[in-house]
């Protein structure tokens, strides 16, 4: 039984539709928007599961990931400082050297710093996920049947997805 996969610029399998010749058609597309930088396969080439088929321009994804990682580090420093300041303010309050208002202000500052840190961690995880999805990989082993896509093609998640690579699998 032979299967045909139509690879569209997405990193996930969108559908599998069997045809009358017992072949399964699977449209693949990138899970992120970007510009195709390279198509790594040629028609007739054998591919193994996990082989790279196409890659988007990685520069914007790498830049976002680096910026997000830097934001995590910066907000962690701010959170650590706010936590120390809260502890110091609480000690001063316990020694009757500061007001409850100052403790509340330190608590609010620490809570805001924790929120910023958690948001930065979320953004870093999302940026890393997007970077990983900027590479289209073969879902199974097979043979490249055709390559209707091209370098420079703009992949827009809000637009119709066009096939880039067609892979036949046994």
Domain CATH code at residue 16:
2.40.50.100
Please check whether residues 101 and 149 belong to one and the same domain: no
Residues 20, 72 share a domain: no
Per the structure, the complete domain to which residue 162 belongs is given by 3-58+135-169
pTM: 0.79
Do 64 and 38 fall within a single domain?
no
Adjacent-strand bridge partners of 36: 56
Residues of the chain with pLDDT under 70: 1-27, 162-164, 166
How many domains does the chain fold into?
Answer: 2
Helix (H, G, I), strand (E, B) or coil at 49: coil
Residue-wise pLDDT tens digits, 56-75: 999 999 999 999 999 999 99
* Cα distance between residue 70 and residue 132, in whole Å: 19
Structure confidence at residue 163 (pLDDT): 65
Mean pLDDT of the chain: 86
pLDDT for 17 equals 40
**Cα→Cα distances 39→55, 72, 73, 98, 106, Å:** 6, 34, 35, 65, 54
Distance CA 46, CA 27 (A): 18
> Do 71 and 121 have their domain in common?
yes
> Do 47 and 64 fall within a single domain?
no
139 and 124 in a common domain: no
Predicted pLDDT at 27: 65
16 pairs with which residues across the strands?
26
**Does 64 share its domain with 127?**
yes
The CATH number for 110's domain is 1.10.287
In this structure, the answer to whether residues 78 and 109 fall within a common structural domain is yes
Query: What was the pLDDT predicted at 164?
Result: 67
Whether 13 and 40 share a structural domain: yes
Tell me: do 73 and 120 sit in the same domain.
Answer: yes
Q: Could you give the CA distance from residue 3 to residue 129 in angstroms, rounded to a whole number?
A: 29
The reply to whether 68 and 102 lie within a common domain is yes
Rounded CA-CA distance 73/153 in Å is 35
Strand runs (DSSP E) across 40-117, as ranges?
46-47, 52-56
């Amino acid at each position: 039984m032979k299967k045909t996969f139509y690879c569209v610029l997405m990193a996930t399998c969108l559908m599998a539709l069997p045809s009358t010749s017992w072949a399964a058609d699977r449209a693949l597309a990138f899970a992120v928007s970007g510009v195709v930088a390279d198509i790594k396969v040629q028609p007739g080439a054998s591919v193994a599961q996990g082989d790279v088929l196409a890659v988007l321009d990685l520069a914007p994804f790498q830049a976002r990931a680096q910026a997000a990682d830097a934001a995590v580090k910066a907000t962690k420093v701010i959170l650590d400082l706010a936590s120390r300041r809260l502890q110091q303010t609480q000690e001063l309050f316990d020694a009757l050297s500061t007001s409850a208002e100052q403790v509340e202000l330190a608590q609010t500052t620490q809570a805001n710093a924790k929120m910023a840190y958690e948001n930065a961690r979320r953004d870093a995880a999302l940026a890393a996920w997007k970077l990983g999805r900027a590479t289209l990989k073969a879902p199974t082993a097979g043979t490249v049947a055709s390559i209707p896509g091209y370098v420079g093609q703009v992949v827009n998640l809000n637009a119709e997805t066009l096939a880039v690579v067609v892979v036949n699998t046994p």
